[in-house]
Amino acid sequence: MVNRLLRAVPALLLAATVPARALPAASTSDPVLEELIRESLARRPELHQADALVSAERERVPQAGAWQDPVLSFGLQNDGFNGLQIGTMPTSYWQVMVTQPLPWPGKLGLRSDAAGTGVRIAEASLQRARLSAEADVRRAYLDLVLVRDRLALLTKLQSLWQKAEGLARVRYESSEGSQSDLLRAQLERNRLRQRRWALEAEERTRVQAINRLRAHRLDEPFPTTASVATQALPELPGDPAALADAEQRSPELLVARLQAERAAQQVAVARRDRYPDLAVTAGIMPRGGLEPMWLAGVSMTLPIFSGSKQSRVVAENEARAAASDGGAETVLQVLRLRVQDRQAQLANLLESATLYREGLLIQSQATADSTLSQYRVGRVTFASVLEAIAGVINDEDGYLQTVAAAERLAIAADEVSLDPAGGGAVGLSSGAVPGAGATAGSGGRASAAVGAAASSGGDAGSSSSSMSKM
Protein backbone atom coordinates (compact mmCIF):
# COMPACT_ATOMS: atom_id res chain seq x y z
CA MET A 1 0.00 0.00 0.00
CA VAL A 2 2.74 2.41 0.99
CA ASN A 3 4.79 1.54 -2.08
CA ARG A 4 1.80 2.23 -4.36
CA LEU A 5 1.28 5.57 -2.60
CA LEU A 6 4.95 6.46 -3.03
CA ARG A 7 4.71 5.76 -6.74
CA ALA A 8 1.45 7.66 -7.21
CA VAL A 9 1.91 10.84 -5.16
CA PRO A 10 5.00 12.28 -6.91
CA ALA A 11 3.31 11.72 -10.27
CA LEU A 12 0.28 13.65 -9.02
CA LEU A 13 2.53 16.41 -7.75
CA LEU A 14 4.26 16.71 -11.10
CA ALA A 15 0.99 16.66 -13.01
CA ALA A 16 -0.39 19.46 -10.85
CA THR A 17 2.79 21.50 -11.08
CA VAL A 18 3.88 21.15 -14.69
CA PRO A 19 0.97 21.92 -17.04
CA ALA A 20 1.33 21.55 -20.77
CA ARG A 21 2.58 24.81 -22.28
CA ALA A 22 1.62 26.24 -25.62
CA LEU A 23 3.18 29.21 -27.35
CA PRO A 24 1.50 32.54 -26.60
CA ALA A 25 -1.47 33.35 -28.74
CA ALA A 26 -1.56 36.41 -30.93
CA SER A 27 -1.89 39.66 -29.02
CA THR A 28 -5.51 40.62 -28.46
CA SER A 29 -7.06 43.66 -26.92
CA ASP A 30 -7.83 43.51 -23.23
CA PRO A 31 -11.19 45.17 -22.51
CA VAL A 32 -10.29 45.62 -18.84
CA LEU A 33 -7.10 47.48 -19.72
CA GLU A 34 -8.82 49.55 -22.39
CA GLU A 35 -11.47 50.68 -19.90
CA LEU A 36 -8.82 51.56 -17.32
CA ILE A 37 -6.98 53.67 -19.88
CA ARG A 38 -10.18 55.40 -20.96
CA GLU A 39 -11.07 56.28 -17.37
CA SER A 40 -7.58 57.51 -16.62
CA LEU A 41 -7.42 59.76 -19.69
CA ALA A 42 -10.81 61.21 -18.79
CA ARG A 43 -10.08 61.84 -15.11
CA ARG A 44 -6.37 62.43 -14.58
CA PRO A 45 -5.91 65.93 -13.08
CA GLU A 46 -2.53 66.20 -14.80
CA LEU A 47 -4.27 66.02 -18.18
CA HIS A 48 -6.84 68.64 -17.19
CA GLN A 49 -4.00 70.88 -16.05
CA ALA A 50 -2.07 70.45 -19.31
CA ASP A 51 -5.23 71.04 -21.36
CA ALA A 52 -5.96 74.24 -19.44
CA LEU A 53 -2.43 75.47 -20.15
CA VAL A 54 -3.00 74.90 -23.88
CA SER A 55 -6.16 77.02 -23.66
CA ALA A 56 -4.24 79.72 -21.81
CA GLU A 57 -1.52 79.80 -24.49
CA ARG A 58 -4.13 80.08 -27.23
CA GLU A 59 -5.58 83.14 -25.54
CA ARG A 60 -2.19 84.83 -25.77
CA VAL A 61 -2.07 84.77 -29.58
CA PRO A 62 -4.71 87.47 -30.21
CA GLN A 63 -3.21 89.51 -27.37
CA ALA A 64 0.21 89.48 -29.01
CA GLY A 65 -1.21 90.69 -32.34
CA ALA A 66 -3.50 93.39 -30.95
CA TRP A 67 -2.84 97.13 -31.07
CA GLN A 68 -2.45 99.09 -27.88
CA ASP A 69 -5.64 100.73 -26.63
CA PRO A 70 -6.16 104.34 -27.73
CA VAL A 71 -5.85 107.09 -25.16
CA LEU A 72 -8.78 109.47 -24.70
CA SER A 73 -8.03 112.72 -22.85
CA PHE A 74 -10.10 115.73 -21.80
CA GLY A 75 -8.74 119.14 -20.98
CA LEU A 76 -9.57 122.76 -20.30
CA GLN A 77 -7.62 125.89 -21.14
CA ASN A 78 -8.72 129.23 -19.68
CA ASP A 79 -7.38 132.80 -19.60
CA GLY A 80 -6.96 134.10 -16.05
CA PHE A 81 -8.55 133.03 -12.78
CA ASN A 82 -11.50 135.42 -12.61
CA GLY A 83 -13.92 133.09 -14.39
CA LEU A 84 -14.36 130.88 -17.42
CA GLN A 85 -13.44 132.78 -20.55
CA ILE A 86 -14.63 130.15 -23.07
CA GLY A 87 -16.51 131.96 -25.83
CA THR A 88 -15.01 135.28 -24.73
CA MET A 89 -11.27 134.88 -25.14
CA PRO A 90 -9.98 133.19 -28.31
CA THR A 91 -7.40 131.19 -26.35
CA SER A 92 -9.87 129.74 -23.85
CA TYR A 93 -11.41 126.34 -24.76
CA TRP A 94 -12.11 122.82 -23.62
CA GLN A 95 -10.66 119.96 -25.57
CA VAL A 96 -11.12 116.27 -26.43
CA MET A 97 -8.15 114.36 -27.83
CA VAL A 98 -7.61 110.75 -28.95
CA THR A 99 -4.14 109.19 -29.33
CA GLN A 100 -3.64 105.84 -31.05
CA PRO A 101 -0.21 104.20 -30.72
CA LEU A 102 0.90 102.46 -33.93
CA PRO A 103 3.62 99.79 -33.74
CA TRP A 104 6.29 99.67 -36.38
CA PRO A 105 5.15 97.47 -39.29
CA GLY A 106 5.90 93.78 -38.71
CA LYS A 107 6.24 93.90 -34.91
CA LEU A 108 2.79 92.51 -34.14
CA GLY A 109 3.11 89.74 -36.73
CA LEU A 110 6.39 88.53 -35.23
CA ARG A 111 4.93 88.59 -31.73
CA SER A 112 1.88 86.62 -32.90
CA ASP A 113 4.16 84.03 -34.49
CA ALA A 114 6.08 83.62 -31.22
CA ALA A 115 2.83 83.28 -29.27
CA GLY A 116 1.59 80.66 -31.77
CA THR A 117 4.77 78.67 -31.21
CA GLY A 118 3.98 78.80 -27.49
CA VAL A 119 0.65 77.12 -28.26
CA ARG A 120 2.42 74.32 -30.12
CA ILE A 121 4.79 73.86 -27.16
CA ALA A 122 1.84 73.56 -24.78
CA GLU A 123 0.15 71.07 -27.12
CA ALA A 124 3.33 68.97 -27.19
CA SER A 125 3.39 69.05 -23.38
CA LEU A 126 -0.23 67.87 -23.37
CA GLN A 127 0.73 65.02 -25.69
CA ARG A 128 3.52 64.05 -23.29
CA ALA A 129 1.02 64.02 -20.42
CA ARG A 130 -1.32 61.77 -22.40
CA LEU A 131 1.43 59.35 -23.42
CA SER A 132 2.68 59.15 -19.84
CA ALA A 133 -0.83 58.73 -18.43
CA GLU A 134 -1.53 55.78 -20.73
CA ALA A 135 1.89 54.26 -20.05
CA ASP A 136 1.35 54.62 -16.28
CA VAL A 137 -1.87 52.62 -16.53
CA ARG A 138 -0.27 49.96 -18.74
CA ARG A 139 2.66 49.53 -16.36
CA ALA A 140 0.45 49.42 -13.28
CA TYR A 141 -1.85 46.90 -14.96
CA LEU A 142 1.12 44.76 -16.02
CA ASP A 143 2.41 44.83 -12.44
CA LEU A 144 -0.99 43.75 -11.11
CA VAL A 145 -1.34 40.93 -13.64
CA LEU A 146 2.19 39.78 -12.87
CA VAL A 147 1.67 39.67 -9.13
CA ARG A 148 -1.59 37.74 -9.62
CA ASP A 149 0.22 35.28 -11.89
CA ARG A 150 2.87 34.84 -9.22
CA LEU A 151 0.17 34.25 -6.62
CA ALA A 152 -1.22 31.51 -8.85
CA LEU A 153 2.28 30.08 -9.18
CA LEU A 154 2.68 30.22 -5.42
CA THR A 155 -0.62 28.35 -5.06
CA LYS A 156 0.82 25.56 -7.20
CA LEU A 157 3.90 25.42 -5.04
CA GLN A 158 1.85 25.51 -1.85
CA SER A 159 -0.19 22.56 -3.08
CA LEU A 160 3.03 20.74 -3.85
CA TRP A 161 4.42 21.26 -0.37
CA GLN A 162 1.17 20.25 1.29
CA LYS A 163 1.19 16.98 -0.62
CA ALA A 164 4.91 16.59 -0.05
CA GLU A 165 4.34 16.89 3.68
CA GLY A 166 1.73 14.15 3.48
CA LEU A 167 4.09 11.95 1.49
CA ALA A 168 6.95 12.56 3.93
CA ARG A 169 4.64 11.73 6.83
CA VAL A 170 3.62 8.42 5.21
CA ARG A 171 7.26 7.47 4.59
CA TYR A 172 8.26 8.46 8.12
CA GLU A 173 5.42 6.52 9.75
CA SER A 174 6.30 3.49 7.62
CA SER A 175 9.97 3.81 8.67
CA GLU A 176 11.01 4.26 5.01
CA GLY A 177 11.81 7.96 5.32
CA SER A 178 13.61 10.29 7.69
CA GLN A 179 12.09 12.77 10.10
CA SER A 180 14.12 15.55 8.44
CA ASP A 181 12.01 15.23 5.25
CA LEU A 182 8.84 15.78 7.26
CA LEU A 183 10.31 18.72 9.17
CA ARG A 184 11.63 20.24 5.96
CA ALA A 185 8.23 20.04 4.28
CA GLN A 186 6.55 21.68 7.29
CA LEU A 187 9.17 24.44 7.39
CA GLU A 188 8.78 25.29 3.71
CA ARG A 189 4.98 25.27 3.95
CA ASN A 190 5.15 27.89 6.72
CA ARG A 191 7.60 29.96 4.68
CA LEU A 192 5.16 29.91 1.80
CA ARG A 193 2.54 31.50 4.04
CA GLN A 194 4.87 34.45 4.62
CA ARG A 195 5.50 34.82 0.88
CA ARG A 196 1.78 34.73 0.16
CA TRP A 197 1.14 37.51 2.68
CA ALA A 198 3.81 39.64 0.98
CA LEU A 199 2.37 39.02 -2.49
CA GLU A 200 -1.16 39.74 -1.31
CA ALA A 201 0.04 43.02 0.21
CA GLU A 202 1.72 43.86 -3.09
CA GLU A 203 -1.48 43.02 -4.95
CA ARG A 204 -3.40 45.50 -2.79
CA THR A 205 -0.77 48.13 -3.49
CA ARG A 206 -1.05 47.55 -7.25
CA VAL A 207 -4.84 47.81 -7.13
CA GLN A 208 -4.58 51.07 -5.19
CA ALA A 209 -2.11 52.47 -7.72
CA ILE A 210 -4.47 51.74 -10.63
CA ASN A 211 -7.47 53.17 -8.77
CA ARG A 212 -5.52 56.34 -8.11
CA LEU A 213 -4.75 56.64 -11.82
CA ARG A 214 -8.44 56.35 -12.72
CA ALA A 215 -9.73 58.47 -9.80
CA HIS A 216 -11.66 55.65 -8.10
CA ARG A 217 -11.84 54.63 -4.47
CA LEU A 218 -8.41 53.23 -3.66
CA ASP A 219 -9.63 49.93 -2.23
CA GLU A 220 -12.14 49.27 -5.02
CA PRO A 221 -11.44 45.75 -6.36
CA PHE A 222 -11.61 44.79 -10.02
CA PRO A 223 -10.91 41.54 -11.85
CA THR A 224 -8.23 40.90 -14.46
CA THR A 225 -8.55 38.33 -17.21
CA ALA A 226 -5.09 38.71 -18.77
CA SER A 227 -2.05 36.62 -17.93
CA VAL A 228 1.61 37.40 -18.48
CA ALA A 229 2.28 33.74 -19.28
CA THR A 230 -0.03 33.76 -22.31
CA GLN A 231 0.84 37.24 -23.51
CA ALA A 232 2.41 37.51 -26.94
CA LEU A 233 5.98 38.78 -26.93
CA PRO A 234 6.55 42.33 -28.23
CA GLU A 235 7.95 42.73 -31.71
CA LEU A 236 11.50 43.99 -32.13
CA PRO A 237 11.61 46.69 -34.84
CA GLY A 238 14.76 47.45 -36.74
CA ASP A 239 17.02 50.13 -35.30
CA PRO A 240 16.41 52.66 -38.13
CA ALA A 241 12.64 52.25 -37.85
CA ALA A 242 12.72 52.54 -34.04
CA LEU A 243 14.88 55.68 -34.20
CA ALA A 244 12.72 57.30 -36.88
CA ASP A 245 9.53 56.55 -34.95
CA ALA A 246 10.96 57.94 -31.70
CA GLU A 247 12.21 61.13 -33.34
CA GLN A 248 8.85 61.65 -35.00
CA ARG A 249 6.73 61.08 -31.88
CA SER A 250 8.91 62.37 -29.03
CA PRO A 251 7.15 65.30 -27.30
CA GLU A 252 10.40 66.31 -25.59
CA LEU A 253 12.24 66.58 -28.89
CA LEU A 254 9.36 68.54 -30.42
CA VAL A 255 9.29 70.91 -27.44
CA ALA A 256 13.06 71.44 -27.65
CA ARG A 257 12.86 72.21 -31.36
CA LEU A 258 9.88 74.51 -30.89
CA GLN A 259 11.71 76.34 -28.12
CA ALA A 260 14.60 76.88 -30.49
CA GLU A 261 12.15 78.14 -33.11
CA ARG A 262 10.50 80.49 -30.63
CA ALA A 263 13.90 81.76 -29.50
CA ALA A 264 14.72 82.64 -33.13
CA GLN A 265 11.36 84.41 -33.41
CA GLN A 266 12.10 86.38 -30.26
CA VAL A 267 15.43 87.45 -31.78
CA ALA A 268 13.51 88.79 -34.78
CA VAL A 269 11.09 90.61 -32.45
CA ALA A 270 13.98 92.15 -30.51
CA ARG A 271 15.62 93.36 -33.71
CA ARG A 272 12.38 94.89 -34.92
CA ASP A 273 11.93 96.61 -31.53
CA ARG A 274 14.88 98.84 -32.38
CA TYR A 275 12.61 100.66 -34.85
CA PRO A 276 10.50 103.50 -33.40
CA ASP A 277 6.82 103.16 -32.68
CA LEU A 278 4.41 105.82 -33.89
CA ALA A 279 1.37 107.52 -32.38
CA VAL A 280 -1.41 109.43 -34.16
CA THR A 281 -3.24 112.16 -32.24
CA ALA A 282 -6.45 114.01 -33.18
CA GLY A 283 -8.40 116.52 -31.11
CA ILE A 284 -11.01 119.25 -31.12
CA MET A 285 -11.19 122.39 -28.93
CA PRO A 286 -14.65 124.01 -28.79
CA ARG A 287 -14.55 127.74 -27.79
CA GLY A 288 -18.15 128.52 -27.06
CA GLY A 289 -19.47 131.07 -29.52
CA LEU A 290 -16.15 131.31 -31.30
CA GLU A 291 -15.02 129.08 -34.15
CA PRO A 292 -13.76 125.74 -32.70
CA MET A 293 -10.13 124.72 -33.05
CA TRP A 294 -8.78 121.26 -33.99
CA LEU A 295 -5.47 119.51 -34.09
CA ALA A 296 -3.85 116.42 -35.64
CA GLY A 297 -0.35 115.12 -35.16
CA VAL A 298 2.04 112.21 -35.46
CA SER A 299 4.68 111.34 -32.85
CA MET A 300 7.30 108.61 -32.59
CA THR A 301 9.64 107.17 -30.00
CA LEU A 302 13.33 107.96 -30.32
CA PRO A 303 15.45 104.87 -29.52
CA ILE A 304 18.46 106.95 -28.58
CA PHE A 305 19.36 104.51 -25.78
CA SER A 306 19.35 101.49 -28.10
CA GLY A 307 22.94 100.68 -27.21
CA SER A 308 22.00 99.87 -23.63
CA LYS A 309 18.44 98.63 -24.19
CA GLN A 310 17.25 97.26 -27.54
CA SER A 311 20.66 96.05 -28.68
CA ARG A 312 21.13 94.28 -25.36
CA VAL A 313 17.76 92.60 -25.77
CA VAL A 314 18.85 91.37 -29.20
CA ALA A 315 22.10 89.99 -27.76
CA GLU A 316 20.22 88.33 -24.90
CA ASN A 317 17.77 86.58 -27.22
CA GLU A 318 20.54 85.49 -29.58
CA ALA A 319 22.27 83.83 -26.61
CA ARG A 320 19.01 82.16 -25.58
CA ALA A 321 18.50 80.95 -29.16
CA ALA A 322 21.96 79.38 -29.16
CA ALA A 323 21.17 77.68 -25.84
CA SER A 324 17.87 76.37 -27.24
CA ASP A 325 19.65 74.92 -30.26
CA GLY A 326 22.04 73.12 -27.91
CA GLY A 327 19.11 71.88 -25.84
CA ALA A 328 17.40 70.36 -28.88
CA GLU A 329 20.58 68.56 -29.88
CA THR A 330 20.98 67.24 -26.33
CA VAL A 331 17.44 65.86 -26.28
CA LEU A 332 18.02 64.21 -29.67
CA GLN A 333 21.19 62.50 -28.44
CA VAL A 334 19.51 61.26 -25.25
CA LEU A 335 16.51 60.02 -27.22
CA ARG A 336 18.72 58.02 -29.59
CA LEU A 337 20.61 56.57 -26.63
CA ARG A 338 17.39 55.46 -24.93
CA VAL A 339 16.09 53.86 -28.12
CA GLN A 340 19.31 51.94 -28.65
CA ASP A 341 19.33 50.82 -25.00
CA ARG A 342 15.76 49.55 -25.25
CA GLN A 343 16.48 47.82 -28.54
CA ALA A 344 19.46 45.98 -27.07
CA GLN A 345 17.64 44.95 -23.90
CA LEU A 346 14.49 43.91 -25.76
CA ALA A 347 16.51 41.73 -28.13
CA ASN A 348 18.16 40.10 -25.12
CA LEU A 349 14.84 39.51 -23.37
CA LEU A 350 13.18 38.08 -26.46
CA GLU A 351 16.03 35.62 -26.88
CA SER A 352 15.76 34.70 -23.20
CA ALA A 353 11.98 34.22 -23.44
CA THR A 354 12.43 32.03 -26.50
CA LEU A 355 15.01 29.99 -24.61
CA TYR A 356 12.54 29.54 -21.76
CA ARG A 357 9.73 28.43 -24.08
CA GLU A 358 11.74 26.22 -26.38
CA GLY A 359 14.37 24.94 -23.95
CA LEU A 360 14.35 25.59 -20.23
CA LEU A 361 10.68 24.88 -19.51
CA ILE A 362 10.76 21.69 -21.54
CA GLN A 363 14.08 20.58 -20.03
CA SER A 364 12.84 21.32 -16.51
CA GLN A 365 9.86 19.08 -17.04
CA ALA A 366 12.04 16.35 -18.58
CA THR A 367 14.41 16.60 -15.61
CA ALA A 368 11.49 16.24 -13.20
CA ASP A 369 10.19 13.22 -15.15
CA SER A 370 13.62 11.60 -15.08
CA THR A 371 14.04 12.30 -11.36
CA LEU A 372 10.67 10.72 -10.64
CA SER A 373 11.61 7.61 -12.60
CA GLN A 374 14.86 7.29 -10.68
CA TYR A 375 13.06 7.88 -7.40
CA ARG A 376 10.69 5.02 -8.14
CA VAL A 377 13.61 2.60 -8.34
CA GLY A 378 15.34 4.09 -5.30
CA ARG A 379 18.25 5.78 -7.08
CA VAL A 380 17.60 9.32 -5.81
CA THR A 381 16.24 10.76 -2.59
CA PHE A 382 12.87 12.39 -2.19
CA ALA A 383 14.65 15.72 -1.72
CA SER A 384 15.89 15.39 -5.32
CA VAL A 385 12.30 14.98 -6.50
CA LEU A 386 11.24 18.11 -4.66
CA GLU A 387 14.25 19.98 -6.03
CA ALA A 388 13.39 19.02 -9.60
CA ILE A 389 9.75 20.04 -9.26
CA ALA A 390 10.67 23.31 -7.56
CA GLY A 391 13.03 23.92 -10.48
CA VAL A 392 10.04 23.87 -12.82
CA ILE A 393 8.33 26.49 -10.66
CA ASN A 394 11.56 28.48 -10.74
CA ASP A 395 11.64 28.48 -14.53
CA GLU A 396 7.94 29.33 -14.72
CA ASP A 397 8.54 32.39 -12.57
CA GLY A 398 11.62 33.35 -14.54
CA TYR A 399 9.61 33.20 -17.75
CA LEU A 400 6.93 35.45 -16.26
CA GLN A 401 9.55 37.99 -15.22
CA THR A 402 11.22 37.95 -18.63
CA VAL A 403 7.97 38.49 -20.54
CA ALA A 404 6.96 41.28 -18.13
CA ALA A 405 10.34 42.98 -18.56
CA ALA A 406 10.00 42.83 -22.34
CA GLU A 407 6.51 44.30 -22.11
CA ARG A 408 7.79 47.16 -19.94
CA LEU A 409 10.33 47.99 -22.62
CA ALA A 410 7.57 47.97 -25.24
CA ILE A 411 5.47 50.28 -23.07
CA ALA A 412 8.42 52.64 -22.68
CA ALA A 413 8.94 52.61 -26.46
CA ASP A 414 5.28 53.48 -27.05
CA GLU A 415 5.60 56.23 -24.45
CA VAL A 416 8.79 57.48 -26.17
CA SER A 417 10.28 57.69 -22.70
CA LEU A 418 13.59 59.41 -22.03
CA ASP A 419 14.02 57.50 -18.77
CA PRO A 420 16.95 55.05 -18.62
CA ALA A 421 16.06 51.59 -19.83
CA GLY A 422 17.23 49.98 -16.60
CA GLY A 423 20.16 48.20 -15.11
CA GLY A 424 19.95 44.89 -16.93
CA ALA A 425 17.64 42.26 -18.23
CA VAL A 426 15.37 40.70 -15.69
CA GLY A 427 15.61 36.97 -16.05
CA LEU A 428 19.39 36.72 -16.17
CA SER A 429 20.36 37.77 -12.67
CA SER A 430 20.79 35.47 -9.73
CA GLY A 431 17.96 35.11 -7.31
CA ALA A 432 15.89 32.57 -5.47
CA VAL A 433 12.49 31.21 -6.35
CA PRO A 434 9.41 30.06 -4.49
CA GLY A 435 10.43 27.17 -2.34
CA ALA A 436 14.12 27.68 -3.00
CA GLY A 437 14.76 26.95 0.65
CA ALA A 438 14.08 23.33 -0.17
CA THR A 439 16.13 23.36 -3.38
CA ALA A 440 19.37 24.98 -2.38
CA GLY A 441 21.23 22.49 -4.51
CA SER A 442 19.73 23.88 -7.72
CA GLY A 443 22.08 26.85 -7.46
CA GLY A 444 22.86 28.49 -10.75
CA ARG A 445 19.99 27.37 -12.90
CA ALA A 446 18.95 29.77 -15.62
CA SER A 447 15.58 29.83 -13.90
CA ALA A 448 17.11 31.76 -11.03
CA ALA A 449 16.08 34.76 -13.02
CA VAL A 450 13.02 35.45 -11.09
CA GLY A 451 13.77 39.07 -10.63
CA ALA A 452 11.09 40.86 -8.86
CA ALA A 453 7.63 41.89 -8.66
CA ALA A 454 7.03 44.37 -11.38
CA SER A 455 7.83 47.91 -10.59
CA SER A 456 5.73 50.80 -11.88
CA GLY A 457 8.85 52.75 -12.69
CA GLY A 458 9.22 51.97 -16.35
CA ASP A 459 11.61 49.77 -18.27
CA ALA A 460 13.23 46.40 -17.81
CA GLY A 461 15.44 46.00 -14.83
CA SER A 462 13.15 47.92 -12.51
CA SER A 463 12.18 44.77 -10.65
CA SER A 464 14.27 43.71 -7.73
CA SER A 465 12.37 41.64 -5.22
CA SER A 466 12.14 37.89 -5.64
CA MET A 467 9.20 35.79 -4.58
CA SER A 468 11.42 33.84 -2.28
CA LYS A 469 12.43 37.01 -0.46
CA MET A 470 8.90 37.99 0.41
pLDDT at 329 over 70: yes
Task: Determine the structural domain holding residue 265 and report its residue range.
Answer: 2-65+112-274+307-469
Q: Is residue 322 part of a domain?
A: yes
Determine the Cα–Cα distance for residues 232 and 403; give it in Å rounded to an integer. Answer: 9
Q: In this predicted structure, what is the pLDDT of residue 176?
A: 65
The pLDDT of residue 376 is above 60: no
Flag whether 72 is in a domain: no
pLDDT at 375: 62
Distance CA 358, CA 451 (A): 20
User: 268-301, pLDDT tens digit by residue?
Assistant: 888 888 889 899 999 999 988 888 999 999 998 8
For 118-138, the DSSP string reads: HHHHHHHHHHHHHHHHHHHHH
Residue 108 has pLDDT above 50, yes or no: yes
- CATH code of the domain in which 324 resides: 1.20.1600.10
- Report yes or no on 91 lying in a domain: no
Q: Among 41-55, 97-111, 177-191, 406-420, whose mean pLDDT is lowest?
A: 177-191
Residue 203: is its pLDDT beyond 60? Answer: yes
Average pLDDT value over all residues in the chain: 79
Instruction: Determine if the pTM surpasses 0.85.
Output: no
For residue 72, name the pLDDT band (cuts at 50, 70, 90).
very high
In a domain, 78, yes or no: no
Quote the number of domains for the chain: 1
Q: What is the pLDDT of residue 315?
A: 87
Q: Give strand ranges (E) for 153-289.
A: 278-287
What was the pLDDT predicted at 48?
A: 93
Residue 300 lies in a domain: no
The answer to whether the beta carbons of residues 250 and 416 sit under 8 Å apart is yes
- CA 445 to chain centroid, in Å, comes to 33
The DSSP call for residue 292 is E
What does the alpha-carbon distance between residue 159 and residue 229 come to, in Å, rounded to a whole number? 20
Mean pLDDT of 232-242: 90
Q: What is the pLDDT of residues 124-151, one digit of tens each?
A: 999 999 999 999 999 999 999 999 999 9
Query: What is the rounded CA–CA span in Å between residue 123 and residue 134?
Result: 17
pLDDT band (50, 70, 90) for residue 163: low
pLDDT tops 50 at residue 307: yes
End-to-end CA separation in angstroms for the chain: 39
Q: Which residues contact 240 (CB under 8 A, 6 or more apart)?
A: none
Measured CA to CA, the distance from residue 311 to residue 88 in angstroms comes to 53
Distance CA 463, CA 177 (A): 40
Whether 70 is covered by a domain: the verdict is no
pLDDT band, residue 85 (cuts 50/70/90) = confident
- Find the mean pLDDT for residues 99-111: 91
Assess if residue 102 is contained within a domain: no
pLDDT at 168: 65
The answer to whether residue 97 is domain-embedded is: no
Q: Is 155 left (phi over 0), alpha (psi -120 to 50) or beta?
A: alpha
CA distance 412 to 404: 12
Rounded to whole angstroms, how far apart are CA atoms 363 and 408?
27
CB 93 within 8 A of CB 286: yes
